[in-house]
Amino acid sequence: MTFYVLTLFPEMVKSPLRYSILGRALEKGIFCLETINIRDFAIGKHKIVDDYPYGGGEGLVMKPEPIISAIKSLIIREPRLWIVLLTPDGITFTHKAAIRFSKMKAIALICGRYEGVDERVRAYVNEEVSIGDYILSGGETAALVIIDAVVRLIPGALHSPFSAQEESFCKGLLEYPHFTRPSEFNGKKVPEVLLSGNHESIRRWRYKEAFLRTWVRRPELLNGRELTIEERKLLEDLRDVC
């Protein structure tokens, strides 16, 4: 798949993607990245991309013409392009959204700056996405988060094809606790079951711990979940203890 990132600062996007899992995936051609400098589509001698907001107020607003021109140029090349505006008032990005994005051929991520983009840009996008209830200096960081989350789900990106299936949120639960050597550190030992070599016992322990961790830390993730017999039993045991 291909990511097109529309930004005023292309290097902010390109540089971090040269490393680790994403860097290797990019080298292997598992995904492609193209940064589009919005300023290249600005008109006039000075290539102005922002201006003061109508009605007054602090800050500057990104002008509509350069962004829309950049979008139109991409649509000519990629008619099935899915266009995403990164904005604090968009729908919150989740693992389900990452799965959906990973099945697309081409995605354009529009990175806002300053006070945001001119409202008229929204008419040219397919979806508006936020990565959380906080404000960033620009959409570039959000674009990197989305690219990272999506690329991991593309076959071949991770060393093991099963790695992504065991991570938090993949099965609607947080991930179980992890341990490595040494088996005892500062008086704290690794749970005996993990040293037992009994794969079924280990699976049950991990499943239980993942469910309990979710129930304690993120109970809203269980809302609407159709509980298994094992999960119902775990909840009953928890209620008895509490």
Query: pLDDT tens, 41-89?
Result: 999 899 999 999 999 999 999 999 999 999 999 999 999 999 999 999 9
Same domain, 138 and 46: yes
Same domain, 34 and 121: yes
Same domain, 48 and 99: yes
| Torsion angle defined by CA atoms of residues 216, 133, 154 and 164, in that order, rounded to the nearest 10 degrees | -10
Half-sphere exposure of 171 (CA within 13 A, CB side): 17
Starting at the edge strand found earlier in the chain, the sheet holding 82-92 runs: 32-37, 2-7, 106-111, 82-92, 127-130
pLDDT (0 to 100) of residue 201: 96
Q: Does residue 156 form part of some domain?
A: no
In terms of Cβ atoms closer than 10 Å to its own Cβ (0-12, 13-18, 19+), residue 65 is: middle
Domain endpoint, select from 106, 126, 151:
151
Task: Domain count for the chain, please give it.
Answer: 2
Q: Which residues of the chain have pLDDT under 70?
A: 159-170, 241-242
pLDDT (0 to 100) of residue 167: 55
Domain endpoint, select from 95, 124, 151:
151
Q: 174 and 221 in contact (C-beta within 8 Å)?
A: yes
Residue 74: domain span: 2-151
The contacts of residue 218 (CB under 8 Å, 6+ apart) are 174
Q: What is the CATH number of the domain that holds 67?
A: 3.40.1280.10
Query: pLDDT tens, 153-167?
Result: 999 998 665 555 555
Tell if the pTM clears 0.85, that is, is over it. yes
Q: What is the CATH number of the domain that holds 226?
A: 1.10.1270.20
